């Protein structure tokens, strides 16, 4: 509670939006008035008391789809970010600690991944393996573990050069012990801040792939695909397709507010 009292209004706003999104995602079946794929009326019904956000191109309730979309889009983004960070950070710290040919081999492999624009690489890989949810998570995790590797390696290199790492090695401490007890605690603030930013990138990337039709596949609700499915309404002056787009933007800005606050606290600045 003390930490929240010292948080700036922007961070509190970000935490509130994030908490609301997580609640909607976790309790979607209890909160949503209709099922995720349930057809409840005609196509493109206007906003009403029965359907506060109208219906989509197949007659499904837009409000319910938005609530389920929070579970699918945000949940998959969290899963993908977790996988990318776990593997990328571990490999980066390991490369910095061991050095030599291991560092060179891992770094050159990461350079190859980063040499190709992420969207083009994702389109190419998903065209090969197919646009399923497990494949999409795996492809995006591979793409984004590369920048995580570079960051964790650079941060860990500064720690590995310090005397206490050499002292621990002279004591006979193993690689896993050094990574968990010496290196990781000293770069954790950098990794946590980067995790927030990387989540935003992954979240937007999943929405973009879904908008292009190769991300989360119908009939699963997803904010990115909902923009595409209902884009026709914009021609008639209906703002309904902008609601999932606005939700994507709002959550992204909120996460950035939280990350800015975390970076400020990690820096030790008082104002």
> What are the CB-based long-range contacts (under 8 Å, 24+) for 231-234?
232/44, 232/57, 233/44
Alpha carbon of 205 to those of 13, 73, 127, 138: distances in Å?
A: 24, 10, 16, 13
**3-class DSSP assignment, residue 133:** helix
Q: Which two tokens stand for residue 63?
A: 């409000």
Q: What is residue 91's predicted lDDT score, i.e. its pLDDT?
A: 92
Q: Checking phi first, is residue 162 left (phi over 0); if not, alpha (psi -120 to 50) or beta?
A: beta
Please tell me the total number of residues recorded for the chain in this structure: 271
Per-run averaged pLDDT (10 residues), the chain, 271 residues: 74 90 90 90 87 89 91 88 91 88 91 90 88 89 92 88 80 81 82 82 87 83 87 84 90 87 66 49
Q: What is residue 270's predicted lDDT score, i.e. its pLDDT?
A: 52
Q: What is residue 192's predicted lDDT score, i.e. its pLDDT?
A: 80
Q: What is residue 110's predicted lDDT score, i.e. its pLDDT?
A: 92
What is 88-271's CATH superfamily?
MetI-like (1.10.3720.10)
Alpha carbon of 110 to those of 101, 147, 214: distances in Å?
A: 14, 8, 24
Decide: 143 and 121 in contact? Cβ < 8 Å.
Answer: yes
Q: What is residue 150's predicted lDDT score, i.e. its pLDDT?
A: 92
Furthest C-alpha separation in the chain:
73
Q: What is residue 2's predicted lDDT score, i.e. its pLDDT?
A: 62
């Amino acid at each position: 509670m003390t930490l929240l009292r010292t948080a700036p209004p922007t961070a509190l706003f970000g935490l509130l939006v994030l908490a609301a999104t997580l609640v909607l995602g976790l309790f979607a079946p209890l909160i949503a008035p209709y099922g995720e794929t349930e057809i409840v009326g005609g196509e493109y019904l206007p906003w009403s008391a029965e359907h506060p956000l109208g219906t989509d191109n197949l007659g499904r309730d837009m409000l319910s789809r938005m609530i389920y979309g929070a579970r699918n889009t945000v949940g998959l983004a969290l899963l993908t970010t977790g996988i990318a960070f776990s593997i990328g950070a571990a490999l980066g710290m390991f490369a910095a600690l061991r050095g030599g040919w291991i560092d060179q081999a891992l770094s050159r492999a990461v350079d190859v991944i980063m040499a190709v624009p992420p969207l083009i690489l994702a389109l190419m890989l998903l065209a090969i393996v197919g646009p399923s949810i497990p494949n999409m998570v795996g492809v995006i995790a591979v793409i984004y573990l590369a920048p995580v590797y570079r960051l964790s390696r650079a941060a860990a290199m500064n720690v590995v050069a310090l005397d206490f790492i050499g002292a621990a090695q002279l004591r006979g401490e193993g690689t896993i012990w050094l990574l968990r007890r010496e290196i990781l605690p000293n770069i954790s603030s950098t990794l946590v801040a980067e995790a927030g930013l990387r989540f935003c990138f992954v979240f937007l990337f999943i929405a973009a792939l879904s908008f292009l039709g190769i991300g989360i596949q119908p009939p699963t609700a997803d904010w990115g695909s909902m923009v595409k499915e209902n884009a026709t309404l914009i021609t008639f002056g209906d703002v309904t397709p902008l609601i999932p787009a606005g939700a994507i933007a709002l959550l992204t800005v909120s996460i950035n507010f939280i990350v800015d606050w975390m970076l400020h606290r990690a820096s030790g600045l008082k104002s």
